[in-house]
């Protein structure tokens, strides 16, 4: 039986992080977790020469970063009445 390479473990970790992100009720937490998972997938995709994996996840990183900036810039609403 072969032992998994470090990059296989990075891929597994990325999968777990993305799955965790989908369990977040708070949108900021979801975006942060998803950004980390997608960034790990970018590294994984580049390491195993899977350009489609790296590119789509790079796009996801950009989207998550955009919405995080937007979320942190908008004024805080104390409560909706």
pLDDT digits 0-9 by tens, 28-58: 999 999 999 999 999 999 999 999 999 999 9
Q: Which residue has the higher pLDDT, 27 or 74?
A: 27
- Rounded to whole angstroms, the Cα distance separating 81 from 71 reads 20
pLDDT of residue 80: 47
In the DSSP assignment, the letter for residue 78 is S
Q: Which residue is listed with tokens 């891929």?
A: 11
In the predicted model, is pLDDT for residue 13 greater than 60? yes
Structure-token pair, residue 18: 């993305």
**CA distance from start to end of the chain:** 61
Tell me the whole-structure pTM to 2 decimals. Answer: 0.85
pLDDT of residue 81: 44
- C-alpha separations of 48 from 18, 43, 79 in Å: 19, 9, 47
pLDDT of residue 76: 75
């Amino acid at each position: 039986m072969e032992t998994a390479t470090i990059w296989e473990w990075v891929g597994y970790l990325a999968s777990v992080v993305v799955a965790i992100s989908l369990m977040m009720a708070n949108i900021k937490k979801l975006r942060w977790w998803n950004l980390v998972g997608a960034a790990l997938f970018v590294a994984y995709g580049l390491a195993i020469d899977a350009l489609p994996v790296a590119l789509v996840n790079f796009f996801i990183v950009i989207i998550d970063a955009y919405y995080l900036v937007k979320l942190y810039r908008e004024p805080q609403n104390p409560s909706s009445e």
